[in-house]
Amino acid sequence: MLNYSIFADNKDVTEQFSKYSKVVGAIFVAMGLLGIFFPAIMSLTSALFIGWLMLFSAFLVAFQTWKVNKKDWWGWLKALMFLIVGVLIFINPLTGVVALGILFTAYFLVDSFINFSLAFSIKPNSMWWIALLNGILSLAIGIYFFIAIADPLKTLWLVGIFVGISLFFDGVMLWSLGSAADKKA
């Protein structure tokens, strides 16, 4: 059951939340579907987005180092590393996609361990098997990603699919929360 205490005193906040959650949810669902149906484009878009973040980070770190301590060579080195990684992603975005595949591999393997731990710690609970199943699925996805990163084209497909699925379900969740808040108003 959702806690709507933040909406209890202010009907305007509830209406704003409902309206914008539905709009953002619909956009996320659309982006998610695009990622699911065009995974290569979503993968490259994700890698290029990370590249832009690296370039922006390089600028910010360099600016901060220049303003605070121009002799801080660690700050300059950090800015240079952000710049190099960002430029490399733009030169060869497929390498950025493979890097995202490696991060996804690590995430799913750690997530499986956490879910196995959770499942066995709540085992008397009648729903412990859901955490176990989630752990098994995360382990399978992590192993599949581990095998797939040897083939950049397979990684290109997988990263786009998983980013698309994530955006789709985030959108469904936001739309549902907005609809539930609408009923509460």
Of 143, 145, 134, 144, which is closest to residue 112 (Cα–Cα)?
134
Q: Note whether 51 and 90 are within 8 A (CB).
A: yes
Is the pLDDT at 2 greater than 50? The verdict is: no
Of 141, 142, 136, 144, which is closest to residue 119 (Cα–Cα)?
136
The stretch 79-85 carries a mean pLDDT of 96
| pLDDT value at residue 9 | 59
What residue ranges do the domains of the chain occupy? 12-41+93-184
- pLDDT tens digit sequence for 153-164: 888 899 999 888
SS3 per residue for 78-138: HHHHHHHHHHHHHHCHHHHHHHHHHHHHHHHHHHHHHHHHHHHHCCCCCCHHHHHHHHHHH
Task: Pull the structure tokens for residue 8.
Answer: 């209890």
- Of the CA atoms within 13 Å of residue 27, those in its CB half-sphere come to 5
| pLDDT value at residue 1 | 42
- pLDDT tens digit sequence for 20-55: 888 998 999 999 999 999 999 999 999 999 999 999
The secondary structure of residue 71, as a DSSP letter, is T
